[in-house]
């Protein structure tokens, strides 16, 4: 879907923001880029839609170099959600969402239907919110509108640059959960930049860890947790997980039994974290067995949520 081949970005003062990176972001993947300030993560994002020109290498979308696309066509087919929500204050919510469809000359009936469809999708009642102005909404509601505006013309790619970092913790957690549910429905290719490893682990199908303009490690949340490439990744993921990993117990994350198919993989309740992550890499859900009986289920989300929570002292005894 999106391919980076030996891409670098160097500024006139000699600063190298991105240094010879190679990435392949798959279609329909939730791909998270994470790293400390100055690591190059936002530069990567902005090079995809040509907000920042690359210095060398090539970026391709669907095997076509981005430089070969008409700039307007390229950006119309890429939704963009910023940390600074940037809704037009003098326009209604409906008018904000309609901007790109109107530029693409959609019929007004179709635009109205799309506005209502998207507002419902993010939990905002169209009859209530369609005609409101941005200042009448909370920060979390405004950011929901920012997401709908990015989705308005149904682009295949969505870029998200730390979209939730300015929100309070409760709003942020809720929007993360909503984004996970939304992605299951829309199945877009999402490239998401964050500096928060907890957020990255919760959202990402794969995570790219950046440092000083270079890719340090790319892997699934399970791979980064179980097999960090080096000390930098280990520290970034959170060395404080050590005590939790040692006392990891499947009993803490068991999900209720609904139905277990005969083909479902079975995990002993005594399994270690590494054994659990290894089996979950090939299975969406596992049955947990103890003393010859199935006592519950476990899935990737339950493990990652528990591990992510342990990073910020949220594990409850």
Task: Give domain status of residue 101, yes or no.
Answer: yes
Q: What is the dihedral of CA 212, 217, 221, 225, to 10 degrees?
A: -90
| Domain C-terminal end among 215, 237, 259 | 237
Chosen domain end from 203, 221, 237: 237
What's the CA gap between 257 and 267, in Å, rounded?
Answer: 14
Alpha helices by DSSP H, listed for the chain, are 41-48, 71-76, 93-97, 99-103, 108-121, 126-129, 139-151, 169-186, 197-203, 221-226, 231-237, 241-246, 273-280, 300-311
> Are 169 and 61 contained in the same domain?
yes
Same domain, 84 and 181: yes
Whether 201 and 207 have beta carbons less than 8 Å apart is answered as yes
Position 150 in a domain: yes
User: Which residues span the domain enclosing 172?
Assistant: 2-237
pLDDT at 243 over 50: no
Q: Are residues 223 and 96 in the same domain?
A: yes
Residue 138 lies in a domain: yes
pTM across the whole model: 0.83
Cβ–Cβ under 8 Å, residues 138 and 171: yes
Judge whether residue 189 has pLDDT over 70.
yes
Q: Quick one: pLDDT at residue 272? A: 84
The answer to whether residue 127 is domain-embedded is: yes
Report the distance separating Cα 185 and Cα 183, nearest Å.
Answer: 5
Burial class (CB in 10 A: 0-12, 13-18, 19+), 97: buried
> Which of the pair, 280 or 20, is modelled with greater confidence?
20
Give the residue from 212, 237, 262 where a domain finishes.
237
- The two structure tokens encoding residue 141: 């509601």
Task: Using the Cα atoms of residue 49, residue 51, residue 52 and residue 56 in order, give the sign of their dihedral.
Answer: positive
Q: Same domain for 285 and 186?
A: no
**Contact status, residue 158 vs residue 81, Cβ threshold 8 Å:** yes
- Predicted confidence at residue 142, as pLDDT, reads 93
Residue 22 and residue 41 in one domain: yes
Mean per-residue pLDDT for 253-271?
81
pLDDT of 247 strictly over 90: no
102 and 131, same domain (yes or no)? yes
Q: Locate tokens 């204050």: which residue?
A: 89
Residue 210 has pLDDT above 80, yes or no: yes
Q: Which residues contact 276 (CB under 8 A, 6 or more apart)?
A: 248, 250, 267, 286, 298, 303
Shared domain check, 199 and 261: no
Going by pLDDT thresholds of 50, 70 and 90, the confidence category of residue 126 is very high
* CATH for 300: 3.10.580.10
> d(Cα 216, Cα 235) in Å, to the nearest integer?
13
Any domain includes 253: yes
Confidence of residue 235 (pLDDT cuts 50, 70, 90): confident
The confidence band for 310, taking pLDDT boundaries of 50, 70 and 90, is low
- Count of domains forming the chain: 2
The per-residue pLDDT for 315 is 36
Check pLDDT > 90 for residue 80: yes
Pair (76, 188) in one structural domain: yes
Does 227 lie in the same domain as 262? no
User: d(Cα 70, Cα 51) in Å, to the nearest integer?
Assistant: 13
Beta pairing partners, 33: 193, 208
Say yes or no: 229 and 248 in one domain.
Answer: no
How does pLDDT run across 30-74, given as a tens digit for each residue? 999 999 999 999 999 999 999 999 999 999 999 999 999 999 989
Please indicate, yes or no, whether residues 18 and 41 belong to a single structural domain of this protein. Answer: yes
First-to-last alpha carbon distance for the chain, in angstroms, is: 43
pLDDT at res. 263: 74
226 pLDDT band (50/70/90 cuts)? Answer: confident
Query: Which of 174-188, 206-220, 281-295 shows the lowest per-residue confidence on average (mean pLDDT)?
Result: 281-295
pLDDT of residue 260: 57
Q: What is the CATH number of the domain that holds 134?
A: 3.40.50.300
Q: Where are the alpha helices (DSSP H) in 49-165?
A: 71-76, 93-97, 99-103, 108-121, 126-129, 139-151
Residue at 192 is within a domain: yes
Taking all residues of the chain, what is their mean pLDDT, rounded to a whole number?
Answer: 89
Per-residue pLDDT at 197: 87
Q: What is the mean pLDDT of residues 8-32?
A: 96
Count of C-beta atoms within a 10 Å radius of residue 255? 14
Residue 316 lies in a domain: no
Domain shared by 252 and 130, yes or no: no
Q: CB–CB of 285/296 below 8 Å? A: no
CB 195 within 8 A of CB 171: no
317 assigned to some structural domain = no
Per the listing, tokens 């290719």 go with 189
């Amino acid at each position: 879907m999106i391919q980076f081949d030996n891409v670098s970005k160097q500024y006139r003062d000699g600063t190298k923001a991105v240094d010879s990176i190679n990435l392949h972001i798959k279609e329909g993947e939730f791909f998270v880029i994470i790293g400390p300030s100055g690591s190059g993560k936002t530069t990567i994002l902005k090079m995809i839609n040509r907000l920042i020109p690359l210095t060398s290498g090539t970026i391709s979308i669907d095997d076509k170099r981005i430089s070969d696309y008409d700039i307007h066509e390229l950006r119309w087919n890429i939704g963009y959600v910023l940390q600074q929500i940037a809704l037009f204050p003098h326009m209604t919510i409906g008018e904000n969402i309609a901007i790109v469809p109107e530029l693409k000359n959609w019929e007004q009936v179709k635009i109205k239907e799309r506005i209502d469809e998207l507002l419902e999708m993010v939990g905002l009642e169209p009859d209530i919110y369609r005609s409101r102005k941005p200042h009448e909404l909370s920060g979390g509601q405004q950011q929901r509108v920012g997401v709908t505006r990015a989705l308005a013309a149904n682009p295949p790619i969505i870029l998200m640059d730390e979209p939730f970092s300015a929100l309070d913790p409760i709003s942020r957690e809720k929007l993360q959960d909503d984004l996970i549910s939304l992605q299951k429905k829309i199945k877009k290719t999402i490239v998401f930049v964050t500096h928060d490893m907890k957020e990255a682990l919760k959202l990402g199908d794969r995570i790219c860890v950046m440092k000083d303009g270079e890719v340090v490690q790319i892997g699934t949340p399970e791979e980064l947790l179980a097999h960090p490439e080096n000390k930098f990744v280990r520290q970034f993921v959170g060395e404080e997980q050590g005590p939790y990993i040692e006392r990891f117990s499947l009993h803490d994350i068991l999900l209720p039994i609904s139905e277990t198919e005969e083909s479902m993989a079975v995990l002993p309740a005594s399994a270690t974290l590494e054994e659990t992550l290894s089996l979950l890499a090939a299975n969406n859900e596992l049955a947990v067995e103890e003393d010859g009986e199935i006592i519950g289920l476990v899935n990737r989300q339950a493990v990652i949520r528990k591990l992510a929570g342990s990073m910020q002292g949220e594990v409850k005894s």
